[in-house]
Chain A
Amino acid sequence: MPRSWPRPGPPTAPLGGPGVLCGRAAPQRGRPASLCARAMTQIYLDHNASAPLRPEALHALCDAAAHCFGNASSAHALGAAARAALSRARRQVATLAGVASETLVFTSGATESNNTVLRQLPDGAHVVTAATEHPSVLEELSAAGERGVRTTRLPVGRDGRVDPARFAAALDEPGTALASVAFANHETGAIQPIAELSAIAAAKGVRFHCDAAQALGKLPLELARLPVDSASFSAHKLGGPKGVGALYLRPGVAFVPLHRGGAHERARRAGTENVPGIAGFGAACEAARLELEPGARRLGELRDRLWAGISRAVPDAVRNGGPEHVLAHVLDVSFPGASGETLVEALDLDGIALSTGAACHSGSTEPSPVLLAMGVPEALARAALRFSLGPVTTRAEIERVLEVLPAVVARVRRARAA
């Protein structure tokens, strides 16, 4: 069927009347109504998919968009202002990650950062990674298989963690050029023993890459103190804008840029910098840093309250991962006999937004590969929900979820049995 036909003109607002912009922090200033207006009353428990823009990030982003429009490579004052915005943001991100400013390259996000590192692999090299890694690692490695790159995908325990002894043994395979393990898992929040793993890799002379997209702003990071050679970050996971991220490159690590065409980012990533996005990223990092520890403590308490309530109301619910070595704001739970996909829709209709797991797996009936790698049986992997809390989450919202959830689970189970 032809894919083009005359489409109506600009109106994009819902017919229901004016609304507000996407994101709780978004101001309402008589702007045209947004497509996202109706979704605004949701209790948002999907921060691992994307976090609402922090007010500080929105302000920095708008300010840079309005005022720092010069090209950061230009010699005039407007160029200098844009350059200054980049420098400040670089320092803000670097402080949160615990690295030196000049080791950071701004990218379009963690996917680009991960892809860029993996494209450095020589043909025929061997890579060690975890079976629970993000698709931006695993799919890139699958594609690299075509040029002879061999990948060992290490299984993980029921806690989602890589066993250091197995990791060390895998590194002994001849031709091992890289190990790539995420700091914290996107679905279960499982925190890997990165200090130990990176030390093992360093001892064996293997380069170590860490996808820290879910860890930045959630855990205190001091990456420069670890023998980590490169790391990936994403702005929108911690309340910055989408389409921005960074790649940490330990000084002295060999690097071939993916983008060419200018000396931007010290010739490591050509292309005019996304100054507003980067400014927003920096501001989000600073805001996250200021509340890092009290924030995690608060979210950990809310998360524990959520799990206590769920396990009381739905006694056969199974927690995937945890309770140790897990991000404070993440809870992954299987509800036996209920489809996770249907639960997501049913909860959405009751005003609660969350996912089954990684966003692009939602809406598909494929069971989560992360949970399967942890040894979760397939039926339970299809019955999983990921709750990921964030700075906007309140105690009242958690109580509301606990009011709604048991009835929804019961209804979805009944309908499935019918």
Chain B
Amino acid sequence: MNGRWLVAMSGGVDSSVAAALLARAGHEVVGVTMDLGSGSDSAVGGSKRCCGLPDADDAREVAARLGIRHYTANYRAEFAREVIEPFAAEYAAGRTPIPCIACNRVLKFDLLLRRADALGARGVATGHYARLAPAPDGRPGLFRPRDRAKDQTYFLFDLARAALDRIAFPLGELEKSEVRALARELGLATAEKPESQGICFVPDGDVRGALARLDPRRPRPRGPIKTRDGRVLGEHPGAIGFTPGQRHGLGLGGGPWYVAEVRPGENTLVVACEAELRTRAVRVERASWLDGAAPDGPVRAAVRYRHRSVSARVEPGGDGGAWLRFEEPVWAPAPGQAAVVWDAADERLLGGGWIAAAG
């Protein structure tokens, strides 16, 4: 089992402890911090500096403490092309993207895996909260972690099953509090480092501000806020950046009103009351199933990160898509977000797809 492992070290406490655990288990650990040109290290589109990224410095300090190698890998171009540009394009098309999933699939579990090949490593480990264990067919399966509050399996639905053979999630059996305690015990510099929240290139969760920076030349004209039956209730400050289910930022009286639909073509926000946003079906496209085929029995599914999963069934549809039919209504599924599916026991990740429309 011992061998060389690449650990994606963000400079946070989770990946620091992931590296420490693998090193303690006798593996030769190589820390890699991906320089993505964003996040807390630098403003998007910022400097070309390659030295002195603060998060990379934290990771390097932890690596020195652990006595492991550490490198900073420049993936700025790939990140811009595969993650940031699609993010802006999705919003511009009226959808609500979730860039962390593409980042996992393309950056961490494809490019980094190739780097692992180049460096003669067995695979890539990360500080994700998820668990790897054998699936019923004996092949590697992806399971929810012990710390349910930190569960990140939602973000991993799009991984290729072949990648699972070469991935490790050392934190899968730990509570976050235990991770911090371990970091303290090992004297890691990141033990008390605050949690990073949300999307790394969207500081403070300000999507509209980030979009204005990422896509500055796109006009953002004001436009009408309408109900489904065409009544104009008010004016929005530019439709791009709103997401279904959103209530804040509309400036409407009465209601309460929620965004139901973003129609960039008509520069219109469609709003609805809460009950109208509940639905029992969503259509997904570009579905990805870890077992190679859509599950045909009862499953659990969620349409947003941190939403409670709901009993559902999957009906495969043409063109690599599927319908998800829920036993109870789900709230405001947003095109562009992921609908993610677990087994009926709500433990094993089965896959999912990208929401195309609510049924």
A binding-site residues for B, Cβ under 8 Å: 1-3, 5-9, 11-12, 14-16, 35, 37-38, 339, 341-342, 345-346, 348-349, 360-366, 411-412, 414-416, 418
Contact sample, A vs B, 11 pairs, CB 8 Å cutoff: A1-B40, A8-B189, A11-B65, A342-B115, A345-B115, A360-B50, A363-B50, A363-B51, A364-B50, A411-B117, A418-B117
Query: Is B119 in the interface zone, CB < 8 Å from A?
Result: yes
Known: A14-B66, A349-B120, A416-B118. 20 other contacts (CB 8 A): A1-B196, A5-B193, A5-B194, A7-B192, A8-B187, A8-B188, A9-B187, A12-B64, A14-B64, A15-B67, A15-B186, A16-B67, A38-B67, A345-B118, A346-B120, A349-B69, A363-B72, A366-B48, A411-B120, A415-B117
User: A354 to nearest B CB, angstroms?
Assistant: 14
Contact B191 A8 (CB under 8 A): yes
Cα distance A342–B118 in the bound complex, in angstroms: 7
Q: Are B120 and A14 in contact (CB under 8 A)?
A: no
Leading 9 A-B pairs by shortest Cβ distance:
A14-B67, A415-B117, A415-B118, A364-B50, A16-B67, A8-B187, A35-B64, A5-B192, A412-B118
Q: What distance in Å separates the Cβ of A375 from its nearest Cβ neighbour in chain B?
A: 23
In the complex, the chain B residue whose C-beta lies closest to that of A39 is: B69
Chain B residues 20 to 57 lying within 8 A of chain A, measured CB to CB, are 30, 35, 40, 48, 50-51, 54
- Chain A CB within 8 A of B77 CB: yes
Chain A residues in 8 Å Cβ range of B35: 363-364
Which of B51, B119, B120: most chain A CB closer than 10 A? B119
Question: How many B residues touch the partner, as a band?
Answer: 35 or more
CB-nearest residue of chain A relative to B13?
A: A5
* A346-B118 contact given A3-B54, A5-B193, A6-B192, CB 8 Å threshold: yes
**Contact between chains at B65 and A14 (CB < 8 Å):** yes
Knowing A5-B194, A411-B118 are in contact, say whether A348-B69 is a contact too (CB < 8 A): yes
Given contacts A6-B192, A11-B187, A349-B4, contact A365 B67 (CB under 8 A): no
Say yes or no: A15-B119 contact (C-beta < 8 A), given A345-B71, A360-B50, A415-B114: no
Residues of A with C-beta under 8 A to B184: 8
* Set B48, B188, B189: member contacting A364, Cβ < 8 A: B48
Residues of B within 8 A of A37 (CB): 67
Minimum CB–CB distance from A381 to chain B (whole Å) comes to: 15
CA distance A349 to B4 in the complex (A): 10
Residues of B within 8 A of A362 (CB): 50
Contacts of B246 in A (CB 8 A): none
A1 touching B194, Cβ below 8 Å: yes
In the complex, what residues of A have CB within 8 A of residue B73's CB? 341, 363
Given that A1-B40, A364-B74, A415-B114 are known contacts, is A342 also in contact with B119, CB under 8 Å in the complex? yes
Main secondary structure of the interface of A (DSSP, over half): loop
When chains A and B are docked, how far (Å) is the Cα of A349 from the Cα of B116?
A: 12
Closest to B50 in A: A364
Residues of A within 8 A of B193 (CB): 5
Min CB distance, B187 to chain A, in Å?
Answer: 4
Check B30–A349 contact: CB distance below 8 A. yes
| Across-interface contacts of A366 in B (CB, < 8 A) | 48, 50
State the Cβ distance, A190 to closest chain B Cβ, in Å: 24
A3, B196: Cα distance in complex, Å:
11
Judging by beta carbons under 8 Å apart, are A363 and B71 in contact? yes
Q: How far is the CA of A361 from the CA of B50 in the complex (A)?
A: 7
* A360 and B192 form a contact (CB under 8 A): no
- CB-CB < 8 A to A9: which residues of B? 187
**Quick check: B77 and A365 within 8 Å, CB to CB?**
yes
* Interface residue from B72, B77, B115 paired with A415 (Cβ < 8 Å): B115
B339 → chain A, closest Cβ, in Å?
30
Q: How far is the CA of A7 from the CA of B58 in the complex (A)?
A: 11
In the docked arrangement, what's the CA distance between A35 and B65, Å? 7
A288 to B157, CA, bound (A): 60
Q: How far is the CA of A6 from the CA of B188 in the complex (A)?
A: 11
User: For A345, what are the chain B residues with a Cβ–Cβ distance below 8 Å?
Assistant: 30, 71, 115, 118-119
Chain B residues near A8: list those with CB within 8 A. Answer: 184, 187-189, 191
A2 / chain B contacts, CB cutoff of 8 Å? 194
Interface string of B162-187 (1 = CB under 8 A from A): 00000000000000000000001011
Cβ contact within 8 Å between B65 and A15: yes
Across the interface, name the chain A residue whose C-beta is closest to B204: A1
Query: Residue among B30, B50, B186 with the most chain A CB within 10 A?
Result: B50
Within 8 A of A (CB), among B71-108: 71-74, 76-77
B285 to chain A, nearest CB (A): 27
Complex interface: chain B residues within 8 A of A360 (CB): 50-51
B69, A341: Cβ atoms closer than 8 Å: no
**B50 neighbours in A (Cβ, 8 Å):** 360-364, 366
**Is A15 within 8 A of B69, CB to CB?**
no
Query: What mask results when residues 98 to 136 of chain B are scored 1 for a CB within 8 Å of chain A, else 0?
Result: 000000000000000011011110000000000000000
Q: Closest residue to B118 on the A side, CB-wise?
A: A415
CA distance A396 to B105 in the complex (A): 43
A307 to B118, CA, bound (A): 23
Which residues of chain A are near B40, meaning CB under 8 Å?
1
From the candidates B65, B66, B118, B119, name the one contacting A12 in the complex (CB within 8 A): B65
* Minimum C-beta distance from A342 to chain B (A): 5
Question: Counting chain A CB atoms within 10 Å of each CB, which of B65, B76, B188, B196 scores highest?
Answer: B65
Q: With the chains together, A5 CA to B61 CA distance in Å?
A: 15
Q: A135 vs B191: C-alpha distance in the bound complex, in angstroms? A: 37
CB pair A365–B74 under 8 Å, yes or no, is yes
* Cβ–Cβ < 8 Å partners of A1 in chain B: 40, 194, 196
Q: In the complex, what distance in Å separates the CA atom of A1 from the CA atom of B74?
A: 22
Q: Point out the residues of chain A lying under 8 angstroms from B66, CB to CB.
A: 14-15
B-chain residues with CB within 8 Å of residue A342 when the two chains form the complex: 115, 118-119
Given contacts A12-B65, A364-B50, A366-B48, contact A349 B191 (CB under 8 A): no
In B187-222, which residues have CB < 8 Å from any A CB? Answer: 187-189, 191-194, 196
CA distance A163 to B323 in the complex (A): 69
User: Within 8 Å CB of B48, what residues of A?
Assistant: 364, 366
Bound-state Cα–Cα, A411 to B118, Å? 6
- A contact residues around B51 at 8 Å (CB): 360, 363
**Which residues in B have their C-beta under 8 angstroms from that of A12?**
64-65
CA distance A346 to B30 in the complex (A): 11
Q: What separation, in Å, do the CA atoms of A92 and B189 have in the docked complex? A: 43
Q: Is the CB of A341 within 8 A of B74?
A: yes
Residue of A nearest to B196 (CB): A1
State A14–B66 Cα separation when bound (angstroms). 5
